[in-house]
Chains A and B, each alone.
Chain A
């Protein structure tokens, strides 16, 4: 068995990365560099697709400062998790007070033009500042050790956040915004995982020679062909992440890529599996003629068609919704629904008659029925098109598209 992804799937991944650059999910320059390297281009850029084995986590790294903790006890002490490792496992201070993460200032894209909103891990630019760094920058004093950090009045926690710096008299208010170089940093009271949101891209490849064409008894306008692929390659890659205040939208966040500028190496964590799936080719011209050429509408159409196949699958196959995955390809105007496990789970195989190659009639009826919602919802809901296994959180689904396509 081959132990590395085929050239075709890597090229497909290149296509998807390039597309992500075109639609603004990734900086276009980086997207095209990654795509070219994946296609074998020799411009000196190397892309490493990494399957992780061990991930090391620290409270403080070159990029982040999450090491400070604040005690909720009476002394409001500021503690350093780098030196008090036991607090990570048992966040209770010696005074008996519970310990919670101290506020941090998160990098923001304010004042940065969209095309400059990218950082590389090798730049070692800080994507968040601790309260200590904040004091150091705002007071222009080094070293700047925090003695206390507390919220004076919980009615307005941010406005009432106070710090006490060693060697300085009295307590100080803090500012929500802090500058460092070209960047502004915004205060968040309790850091959480939503500060960094991964950018993941899925690509799939099937060999048309080995894929079995699946017969449909009825007609699904817009669907060109359906294939059962027993050797479907799926690669999921996290190209980078978007960093920003937890309440900031993705569009206004800064993209961080794991890129070594000196050696021109991109490192991209991946999950690569070979599984079984249905690949559905969509008639691009037909859909365009009906829905127009707007990219976002076409994407929504593809996503909706995909959910028409995905949502009824668990019920018919007898598996959990989480056992399935989906992948869309705008470039090739096709999508795949697959068993989300290496080697498959028997889900997709359960809806195609292996002897005749005909789609299970019950499943086909459920697909056709996707246009009807038992709750008569406006666009999509849990009763019709939503699926627990959707990577896009069920956004941009619209069953009226199916009606427009003539389902």
Chain B
């Protein structure tokens, strides 16, 4: 389990490559088993599309594992069936390079990869790469595939032989492709025994508390589905920057401290690399112009030096460059810049491009922030492959994404936490010596502090010490987290019932095993077993609070059942405030001149929406023109104008 999708993508490639070699070796030694891997996140496609819509060939984040090739794997589609509503396809995972042996579907690759939702649900892989949000969505029946998709936790289901769609009850035909389903399609599955939580330091604060409950909710759901009593999975909690790791692990999984074993990282025998730090607090130049000048010098320009001294300095720089970058300008140095905000990325992008325009070696520079949405993947690939020489990124790139070829790093403004700084410099100079420019803002107290205490940044031991003082802990007993998780746990309890699909989707008055759905649900949701389930699934000291919230939520669902018609509609109407593990802040849409739209939280948007304000986007600037209001409170004649509220 990875905290972000970017990390999932990044690490999937490594795992895929490793497994391909493992499986080949297994086959070579005569074993028939294949270790399978699958990916589950928001952008994983279905095997079916609406009629008339042809799915595009999609590039996967997996690199071709063949030793002679390093290209991307792609997913092609083959039409297998057309139903009344959908076209069903079957995926083929091949290498994108036409002359690669894996360019034709390789049986081993097809067998070991689960890269569509239906592939994952119909045959859960041995290793599932997921994130907390997608697992919460499956448990809380947020998608069309739910609750059948709980096959990933070991729940039995009827699997369509054509498209692989799971069904929680036995239908005559598949709800997607219309293929006939019989008893032989009823499948039993195993359950996850090991849960790996990578980059665990990201699971902190409110998000961390809710993820910790999610983990124990998962456990309890598995115990219920498989009838296990005292079983607990084996957890691996991993991070390079976790303060007090035993305690954090205990908090995260709700275990006893005695059951936590600390395994420290050992040297892998990698060559020792040096990071040379340069600290600059510009007082005459603006900080962004300083970065521009750094870029200029890196890529061969020296315009800021007075003409008379230029030749002498150029010669000195040339000599240094020859030693560090002997292939310059054939191979240009790679630069990774970290900024704190999207606006800073956009500003630096414009500045760096302007200042390098006159350099003889024309470097390709691009940005990496949420402005670039799905294109971020292309930027990361381009940077890894050497197409882009410099990437200017926000904190989204600071965790886990490994680039082996960064020569120079620029930290533009200090992050508040030294942990975040450590992550940033961790992306730089992983394989070779590197240079790090630390650019401080003269008018920011936090930057000023780090400028004065520069040793904290460049001395590993001091950094370690400092990180230990940065207290972040996970509070499983956080009142709000307990309340939200108790509600989620009630929905889990419904979703894992054998008849869940019918209970959720049929009208309250319809019959199931001779009783009305309403009656069955009343029995289920007023049963003391529900409260016991909730308490066990949260592992919190605030048991009474959890019980109280769960009972009142269950009662509300029953009350809503009449007005909403089905339990699924009642659930969807009540979960809006608890959908996200990360935030419940309202989102505001920014319409970028009909070209693109991006969403920002209201806490940002209320400060950046007055007409005339400047807004940067992918290196260019725009201005706020108009705003549409969600609500308007008018004074002195106070009125309420809102389509949604009224």
A: residues with CB less than 8 A from B are: 3-5, 10, 37-42, 46-64, 66, 69, 72, 81, 85-89, 91, 98-101, 121, 127, 151, 153-155, 157, 189-196, 198, 200, 236-238, 240-241, 243, 246-247, 256, 258, 267, 269-272, 314-315, 317-323, 339-347, 349-350, 374-375, 380-383, 386, 388, 393-395, 397
By the criterion CB–CB under 8 Å, are A54 and B343 in contact? no
Q: Which residues of B contact A127 (CB under 8 A)?
A: 612
Q: List 25 A-B contacts (CB under 8 A).
A: A3-B645, A46-B635, A51-B602, A51-B632, A52-B629, A52-B630, A53-B627, A54-B627, A55-B624, A59-B593, A62-B611, A64-B614, A66-B622, A89-B595, A91-B619, A91-B620, A151-B357, A190-B351, A193-B616, A315-B471, A318-B251, A344-B480, A346-B209, A346-B475, A350-B479
Residue in A69, A85, A340 whose beta carbon sits within 8 Å of that of B593 in the complex: A85
Other A-B contacts than A55-B591, A154-B358, A341-B585, 17 sampled, CB-CB below 8 A, are A47-B635, A48-B634, A50-B627, A50-B632, A55-B605, A56-B624, A85-B594, A98-B365, A100-B619, A190-B350, A196-B612, A198-B607, A345-B480, A346-B209, A349-B480, A350-B477, A395-B445
Q: Which of A57, A236, A374 contacts B622 (CB 8 A)?
A: A57
Question: Which residue of chain B lies nearest to A50 when distances are taken between CB atoms in the complex?
Answer: B629
Q: How far is the CA of A87 from the CA of B577 in the complex (A)?
A: 38
Interface size on B, residues (CB 8 A): 98
In the complex, identify which listed stretch (B43-51, B317-325, B636-644) lies at the interface while the others stay far away.
B636-644
Check if B303 sits within 8 Å of A155, measured CB to CB. yes
- Which listed residue (B305, B472, B592) contacts A320, Cβ 8 A? B472
B471 neighbours in A (Cβ, 8 Å): 314-315
Q: CA A154 – CA B365 in complex, angstroms? A: 18
Contact A319:B636 (CB < 8 A) given known A54-B628, A64-B612, A258-B611: no
B474 touches A318 (CB 8 A): yes
In whole angstroms, what is the CA distance A10 to B589 when docked?
Answer: 26
- Complex contacts, A344 vs chain B, CB 8 Å: 479-480
Whether the Cβ atoms of B288 and A349 lie closer than 8 Å is no
Task: Tell me the nearest residue of chain A to B603, going by C-beta.
Answer: A271
User: Is B588 a contact partner of A47 (Cβ separation < 8 A)?
Assistant: no
A87 to B350, CA, bound (A): 13
Chain A contacts for B365, CB-based, 8 A: 98
Closest 4 CB pairs of A and B: A318-B475, A320-B205, A346-B480, A315-B471
Most chain A CB atoms below 10 A, which of B444, B449, B585, B591: B449
User: B473 within 8 Å of A by Cβ?
Assistant: yes
- CB–CB A88/B627 < 8 A: no
Rounded to whole angstroms, the CA-CA distance of A89 and B618 in the bound complex is 7
The CA-CA distance from A121 to B623 in the complex, in Å, is: 13
Say whether B631 faces chain A, with CB atoms less than 8 Å apart.
Answer: yes
Is B621 within 8 A of A189, CB to CB?
A: no
- A238 lies within 8 A of B596 (CB): no
CB of B526 within 8 Å of the partner chain: no
The answer to whether A37 touches B636, judged by C-beta atoms less than 8 angstroms apart, is yes
Enumerate chain B residues within 8 angstroms of A40, measured Cβ to Cβ: 635-636
Given contacts A155-B304, A191-B614, contact A346 B478 (CB under 8 A): yes
Of the candidates B351, B591, B612, B633, the one whose C-beta lies within 8 Å of that of A4 is: B633
Contact B475 A59 (CB under 8 A): no
B216 lies within 8 A of chain A by Cβ: no
Residue from B288, B445, B474, B591 in contact with A57 in the complex, judged by beta carbons closer than 8 Å: B591
